[in-house]
Structure 1
Amino acid sequence: MSIGYLNERMQKILNMVLKRSSEFSIKEVAEELSVSTRTIYNELEKANGWLEMKERQPLRVIRGKIQPCPEEERRALERLLEEEEVDKAYVFTPTERTKIIVCQIVVSGNPTAVEDLMETCQVSRNTIFTDLQAVISQLYTYQLELRYEKKTGYWIQGDPMRVRAIFFLYFNMLEPLLSAGHLNFLHMEEIRPYLERIEKVENELKVRYVRNDMLALAAMIPVMERGDSPLTFSDVSTVKVKQSAEYGLICRYFPELPENEQIYMTLHFLGGRLASYSRKEKTEERNEFVWEISKNLVTEFERRACVIFEKKEDLLENLYRHIDAAMYRYRFGIQIGNRMEADIQREYPYIFDIVRVTARYLEQQIGVQISDSEVSYLALHFGAHLEYARHDEKELRILVVCMNGVATGNMISHELRRILPQARIVGVMTVAQIVNPQNICDLIISSVKMDSTVPVILVNPILNDFDRRNILNHPMIRSRFGFVDTDALYQIVKKYVAKEKHAELRNDLERFFRGQSEEHQPVLNPDVWHLTDFLTEDRILFLNKGDSWEDAIRKVSDPLLKRESMEELYVDCIIDRLKEAGPYMFVTPDLILAHARPENGVRHLDFSIGIAPDGIEFQGGKKARVVFCLVVEDQYKHMGILRDIRKGLAKAEQVDELMQCRTPEEICTLLRTRLSEE
């Protein structure tokens, strides 16, 4: 079988042959490419067809092992690969195939044959069977089942709302593949007429929703037209939904849909994410229930994160508008998917962790569990409003550009302020909003490809380490703000320094380079410290049974004053605040996290721990067996310490074990051991 093109997977196999001087197994190649051995045999057959067309010797397979090429054939193959233009046929990853299989089964309307899945994913039958095991596992988390009937195929059984929830979640993640034309079971030309009608609804409402969400909805409409899904809306009355302007427009532009599907579609508009928040003016009457929830969420985050938001009104406004729309999603079980969820959890684990705990209040208020996907959206809003210490430096004007979504753009701005405190973020815009950018900025950092008269740095919507290095290494930034990567230097030097001195070493390095260059040094990785970075015996002390809570705070603060981590003013502010507001700093029934604001005498991040087996009594009869004094330098560096507290000191049995220790050395050993455990 001769074949006139070379696809990506074939090229990878041929490159593996070139790199090997000895035989290697088909199984090894299959594991490397995450497919079955049958798929590799199929690709080898096609590769040999291509070699035959090029008049070269075919690859030989003996007893399941690919044989090495003779030297002459190796050189010829290297030349061929350099000259050959690889066919752009996309090779799906196992994770992508799992999502593709689910979405194809959902939109097909009939049981889906394994041959159809093989054609879509371009893999063998054995690989599809392996993928189906992963599909079964994913569906189980949604309380759904994958069913099969001989001679017909596969379908998903369970609550239709849950089936659609997993479709919207996965479709959002697959949208780039659809736009690139890699999904043969969905075609933009078939979806576009539905999308055009959705845009007419948007125009009448004078809003613009996030495009990916509306694209997923357009792809679902053929399923909705069939009207064979028994949708039920038992949680919330549909009377209010039918009274909405959105419902009237859906009935006008989608009259062919059954009534329950029109209601379902209306919910996507009522609960959809807006590309901007221009629809509702601030003067419009608020939903007081949602406004109160938003305020309490901010208060709860501040309490748990030991921060005070400087621009609280902006955060409240964005949070309120997000939650107000999301209420429909929460209560009706509609999920829209968040393809940035994994990136957010990876790049900002500390913010996500605190928001996950904070969201329990929201869950209690509405009686619905909030998914990690929704928590990730909330984390974007909170994270975008955290502040780092600012420094007066040479000004560089940066414009942030994103496809849509206020929170995403704000999160990029937030990260830029951390790694480039010298720069000024002049705004967040979409590409369509930009006119004469040279008049407002020197540099654009964008999550979408664009042409501009000023330099553009293309980044991911959630910045990763590659993005950070790319930004800091840009000629415009390096020439204006040359920097020393103190984090990389610290990683090298710390190997030659005792572990208990690591925190002091890092502080000294940063202090030295700041003094040398008179510039704040950007740090590539988020500057987050952990409890074990500071954990030393002199930071731990035992409190007496008769100590008052004020005496206890002052005693626990003493090691920090001696280290000059803070001034006496910081201690006074903690005590004054507890007198005014009561013991709100308790984060567990046994632990109080004493802290104040950075401007009240803070020099650098630090902490100390007071142990009180008999408990220190605070106002309202609350007793603390652990008095933890945290010196907060900014709104982010201490996030790792807070996470360690939740991991190692949050449970009563953990504190009980701590109370059995008799020396600071025993406490250090116990905490290090506990925090090193997965």
Structure 2
Amino acid sequence: MIELDTRCQELLNTLLQSEVHIKIQEIVDEKQISKRSVYYDLCKINDFLASHHIEEVTLERSKGINLSQKQKEQIRELMYSEPLVRNVYFSPSERVLIIICMILQKDRPLLIEDFIDVCQVSRNTIINDLKVASTKLQEYGLTLKFENKTGYIIQGDVIRKRALFFLYFPELISYYHTGALTSPYQEQVEENLKKFDYIEKTLDTQYVRDTLVALAHFVPVLGQEDESFHFTDIDKNKIMDTYEYTLVQRKFHHLAEDECIYLTLHLLGSRLEVTSMEINDVSEDQEAYDLATSLVSEFSRLACVEFENKEVVERSIFVHLKASLYRYRYGIQIGNPLINDVKGQYPELFEITKKAAEYLAQQIGVPIADNEIAYLTLHFGGFISTNQTVDQMNILIICPNGISTGNMLRAEVSTLIPHADTIDVVALRGNDISFDDYQVVISTVEVPNCSNCIIVHPILSDADRVMILRKCMRTSGKGQIRADDVLEIVKKYVKEEDHQALKIDLQHYLESLTEIRYHPLQDGSRGMLSFLNEETIYFHDEDYDWQEAIRLSSEPLVEKKSITTDFVDAMIRQTRKMGPYMFINEHVVLAHAKPEDGVVQLDFNMNVFESGVYFPKQRIAKVILVLAAEDKVKHLKILKDVMHLFSNEDIQSEILACKNASQMLQVIGKALKA
């Protein structure tokens, strides 16, 4: 079977989205590869197409390459019925996860040969992988053992073992989709998925798809599990009162009561869509609501943003926490397959969310794992976006990964395409979506019968952004020169048989004129060091009261016209009203106010007070950082740097020991580079 690697798949996807010819040099520039590599990839694509009896891609002299409508339809049909696969190479970390998950869902004794067969590596490599797996398991109080009769087993607390499966399995799901990995209970898995689909349809709700797949794979193990655990009567009653539990018990009647409760918890935890307060009565779970409102306030304080729709944000977090609290207490985790993408694409937002979640961890007495932080990041990120809109086009986003992921995509698309009229988010369920209502459809999965669909990653890559920009600029007609209009003017001077070729050349030329670069959501590319130098770090050796200290610290930004005096007054007024809310730790104040209070441009400075500044409620500030944030996004890199520096006691001690700006820059530069 001929397979395509990732680069070939991206190139084929680019050709599918293009309505005009693409020149080889354009592919070279966009993909940052050589011409030889492009020709090599085209040969592989043609071999793949030929193996499926589809006409090959041809290169037209002076025009480039382009797929016919018939080719596009055939390729899309192929991709929908048989997703593209690639040569599989499991990384060392993936092999470790595969080994752990295989043991946790084994249906027979597993030996080294079984791991060799699945991972396709040598015996010595698997032996090393087993050592790594053993070390990783020990971090969770679990032990990897080998017994002659049972093969490799994992000993320890049953809840922790299950938690690890649901933490690791989602990172491997794509391999199960492509057939690179298979379940020993494949028939049962498919039947279980049908049962979960029934529950989802009956309740008219949506669950994170990867969670349902993971549950479908793990349910057969529940029937074999000798170890058991118990829930408290109070928690049981709360969970057993839900519609989910009723349906789980009906569809999985062979499972014990506690196992049905266990499945229900997973479903409740993956039910991420925002629901009305009538459904989620605050009085029934005041603890979750109080934690949600406090978490939103803490995030808002740390991120220096104000949510216009704060109640909607709180309700979204409340719905998530209401189920998550149960999972935290019983070690039930929902692995987030997007965690690495979230941390890589939105590092500033992730770090701020992680810092805000420290409050949550303190309140409930258990640590919050990074996979949970990633989900919360998606929730908050979905509400941070620009508000510029110009009536020009309707965009539909199809995202079966959950509403929070869809909101994150919507936020970034609205930043990329500020002139979009509407941007709707739906999951791909049923056939009741009218694609005719949308000029552009963006999806994270292949969509049947949708010719104007752009396939993207759940977290947009650079190639995805460029593709969206091209599609939306091509679709948008207001204020742009159209090839048809130009052709109407000049066609009388051109032979009729050349009209179509001229139109294509005009489209290609006009597209090149409107080419723009993407503007990602995380526009916080300027960190602390972009603003700090020997003239913006100030040392004060005299005594000041807190109001004088804020005015003194803000004065340089007023002189630079980055802020107005109204901004300074607003910071003082808020401190009088709310107390020392701007402290980010024991001795550091992040002084800020709303953008509309007087921010002219993004700016930042640092002030060290050797004698300390006394604030209300007996708080003493040794460092005052003044941040002028002009929107909700551009300052996030600064905040990430601030969190990194002042969350580490050793780094903070070095900072407080500095006597001048030069020393301070050396300490900060070294810490941030590390």
Moved more, 469-478 or 343-352: 469-478
Match of 2:661 in 1: 664
| Among 386, 402, 418, the residue aligned to 1:421 | 418
Moved more, 525-534 or 446-455: 446-455
Aligned ranges for residues 599-614 of structure 1 at < 5 Å?
A: 599-614=596-611
Match of 1:101 in 2: 99
Match of 2:587 in 1: 590
1:582-602 Cα shifts (integer Å, max 9, x gaps):
221111221111111111221
Secondary structure of 1:474's counterpart equals: helix
Match of 2:620 in 1: 623
- Distance in 2 separating the partners of 1:171 and 1:673: 37
- Distance in 1 separating the partners of 2:183 and 2:324: 30
Match of 1:530 in 2: 527
Match of 2:504 in 1: none
1:229-273 Cα shifts (integer Å, max 9, x gaps):
23344797545445555444444333322344334333334x331
Q: List alignment gaps of at least 5 residues for structure 2.
A: 6-42, 53-83, 481-512
Match of 2:254 in 1: 256
- Distance in 2 separating the partners of 1:345 and 1:235: 38
Moved more, 337-346 or 309-318: 309-318
- Distance in 2 separating the partners of 1:290 and 1:640: 30
Q: CA deviation at 1:637?
A: 1.5
The TM-score, its normalising length taken from structure 2, stands at 0.76
- Distance in 2 separating the partners of 1:661 and 1:99: 45
| 1:91 maps onto 2:85 in alignment | no
| 1:560 maps onto 2:573 in alignment | no
Q: CA deviation at 1:129?
A: 2.3
Q: CA deviation at 1:344?
A: 0.6
Match of 2:266 in 1: 268
- Distance in 2 separating the partners of 1:520 and 1:632: 26
- Distance in 2 separating the partners of 1:91 and 1:660: 52
- Distance in 1 separating the partners of 2:390 and 2:250: 57
Q: CA deviation at 1:467?
A: 2.0
Cα pair distance change 1:251/1:123, threshold 3 Å: same
- Distance in 2 separating the partners of 1:96 and 1:260: 31
Match of 1:645 in 2: 642
- Distance in 2 separating the partners of 1:158 and 1:415: 43
- Distance in 2 separating the partners of 1:636 and 1:476: 24
Cα pair distance change 1:249/1:89, threshold 3 Å: same
Asked if the contact 2:384–2:632 (Cα under 8 Å) also holds between the matched residues in 1, the reply is yes
- Distance in 2 separating the partners of 1:458 and 1:482: 27
1:601-638 Cα shifts (integer Å, max 9, x gaps):
21211112222100122222222111211111111221
Match of 2:287 in 1: 289
- Distance in 1 separating the partners of 2:269 and 2:118: 30
Letter in 1 for 2:522: P
Cα pair distance change 1:211/1:671, threshold 3 Å: closer
Q: Which has the higher contact order (CA 8 A, sep 6+)?
A: 2
Match of 2:133 in 1: 135
Aligned ranges for residues 304-319 of structure 1 at < 5 Å?
A: 304-319=302-317
Letter in 1 for 2:567: Y
Match of 1:405 in 2: 402
Q: CA deviation at 1:547?
A: 2.2
Asked if the contact 1:306–1:632 (Cα under 8 Å) also holds between the matched residues in 2, the reply is yes
Letter in 2 for 1:406: I
- Distance in 2 separating the partners of 1:241 and 1:7: 46
Moved more, 189-198 or 347-356: 189-198
Match of 1:371 in 2: 369
1:344-376 Cα shifts (integer Å, max 9, x gaps):
111111111111111122222222222111111
Cα pair distance change 1:653/1:218, threshold 3 Å: closer
Cα pair distance change 1:138/1:92, threshold 3 Å: farther
Letter in 1 for 2:380: F
Match of 1:395 in 2: 392
Cα pair distance change 1:283/1:289, threshold 3 Å: closer
Match of 1:224 in 2: 222
1:410-454 Cα shifts (integer Å, max 9, x gaps):
000111223333334431112337756455432122111114556
Letter in 1 for 2:88: V
Q: CA deviation at 1:531?
A: 0.6
- Distance in 2 separating the partners of 1:152 and 1:646: 48
Q: CA deviation at 1:218?
A: 2.2
Query: For the aligned residues, what is the CA RMSD?
Result: 3.5
| Among 151, 158, 175, the residue aligned to 1:153 | 151
Match of 1:111 in 2: 109
Number of aligned residue pairs: give it: 570
Q: CA deviation at 1:204?
A: 5.0
Match of 1:382 in 2: 380
| 1:455 maps onto 2:452 in alignment | yes
| 1:445 maps onto 2:445 in alignment | no
Letter in 2 for 1:636: V
Moved more, 640-649 or 653-662: 653-662
Match of 1:489 in 2: none
- Distance in 2 separating the partners of 1:254 and 1:472: 47
Letter in 1 for 2:362: Q
- Distance in 2 separating the partners of 1:312 and 1:280: 14
Letter in 2 for 1:625: K
Cα pair distance change 1:525/1:210, threshold 3 Å: closer
Secondary structure of 1:673's counterpart equals: helix
Match of 1:492 in 2: none
- Distance in 1 separating the partners of 2:635 and 2:608: 21
The TM-score, its normalising length taken from structure 1, stands at 0.76
- Distance in 2 separating the partners of 1:465 and 1:449: 19
- Distance in 2 separating the partners of 1:120 and 1:567: 64
Secondary structure of 1:265's counterpart equals: helix
Asked if the contact 2:144–2:155 (Cα under 8 Å) also holds between the matched residues in 1, the reply is yes
- Distance in 1 separating the partners of 2:433 and 2:629: 42
Letter in 2 for 1:447: T
Aligned ranges for residues 508-587 of structure 1 at < 5 Å?
A: 522-524=518-520, 526-528=522-524, 529-587=526-584
Cα pair distance change 1:420/1:530, threshold 3 Å: same
Asked if the contact 1:120–1:183 (Cα under 8 Å) also holds between the matched residues in 2, the reply is yes
Secondary structure of 1:108's counterpart equals: coil
Letter in 1 for 2:119: C
1:549-602 Cα shifts (integer Å, max 9, x gaps):
222222211211222212222112112222222221111221111111111221
Letter in 2 for 1:130: N
Secondary structure of 1:134's counterpart equals: helix
Q: List alignment gaps of at least 5 residues for structure 1.
A: 10-77, 484-516
Secondary structure of 1:588's counterpart equals: coil
Percent identical:
35
| 1:635 maps onto 2:632 in alignment | yes
Asked if the contact 2:409–2:459 (Cα under 8 Å) also holds between the matched residues in 1, the reply is yes
Q: CA deviation at 1:307?
A: 0.9
- Distance in 2 separating the partners of 1:216 and 1:344: 20
- Distance in 1 separating the partners of 2:661 and 2:540: 12
